């Protein structure tokens, strides 16, 4: 069994049913929640979207939104002016170019205001079942510590993990890395002695006891 397969087998034991923490019922809701999650915790986003999603239900709602009111709704997520601008622009683009539906390709998604590869991969993998690797701060940190990557570039990390993991495990595997980084391999005080991946980890700063 290769190293990548062994890592995935351990992660399957640790997080057998990984799911995104962002609450959503539709691709549009996940797209909006992921845009709001930039520099913000998932918990805070979920608090905000609980009421936001009752007022803004469709792409048209965002396209026609009053910017001041929308800013007030999402203020606590941080960078609210830019996020409100992106949400309105995104709504307009969806209405004008995609029949008010969230597109299903990377190229179309990243053409939307405020949407990069990370956000696009979240939507593709979680809503449309398209194998996608999400690279956030947790995935980057864990991948580096495990010795899977030697770069900080999210696009290069995504490509490296695509080569390391079988395609059908891209979505699940990257989400397991995210959860591992969030709960075990934290930025500060990582729980190395309790880590299921300790013996496979190449990080010089790891602790064994």
* Structure token digits, residue 58: 């469709």
Q: Does residue 136 carry a catalytic annotation?
A: yes
| Among 11, 70, 1, CA closest to 36 | 70
Q: How many CB atoms lie within 10 A of CB 66?
A: 10
List the catalytic residue out of 64, 83, 118, 199: 118
First-to-last CA distance in the chain?
A: 26
List the catalytic residue out of 25, 136, 155, 163: 136
Q: Does residue 61 carry a catalytic annotation?
A: no
Helices assigned H by DSSP within the chain: 3-14, 27-36, 42-55, 59-63, 67-74, 80-98, 106-109, 117-127, 137-146, 154-164, 170-183
| Four-point Cα dihedral 97, 30, 56, 95, nearest 10 | 0
CA distance 115 to 150: 25
Query: Known catalytic residues?
Result: 118, 136
């Amino acid at each position: 069994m290769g190293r990548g397969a062994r890592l995935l087998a351990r992660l399957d034991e640790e997080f057998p049913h990984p799911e995104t923490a962002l609450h959503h019922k539709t691709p549009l809701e996940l797209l909006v929640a992921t845009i709001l999650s930039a520099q913000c915790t998932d918990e805070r986003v979920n608090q905000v979207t609980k009421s936001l999603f009752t007022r803004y239900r469709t792409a048209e709602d965002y396209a026609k939104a009053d910017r001041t009111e929308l800013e007030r709704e999402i203020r606590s997520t941080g960078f609210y002016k830019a996020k409100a601008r992106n949400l309105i622009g995104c709504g307009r683009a969806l209405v004008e170019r995609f029949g008010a539906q969230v597109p299903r390709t990377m190229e179309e998604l990243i053409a939307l205001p405020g949407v990069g590869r990370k956000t696009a991969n979240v939507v593709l993998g979680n809503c449309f079942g398209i194998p996608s690797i999400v690279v956030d701060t947790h995935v980057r940190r864990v991948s580096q510590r495990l010795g899977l990557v030697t770069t900080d570039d999210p696009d290069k990390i995504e490509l490296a993990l695509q080569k390391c993991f079988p395609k059908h495990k891209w979505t699940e595997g990257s989400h397991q890395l995210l959860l591992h980084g969030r709960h075990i391999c934290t930025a500060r005080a990582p729980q190395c002695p309790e880590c299921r991946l300790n013996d496979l980890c190449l990080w010089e700063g790891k602790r064994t006891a």
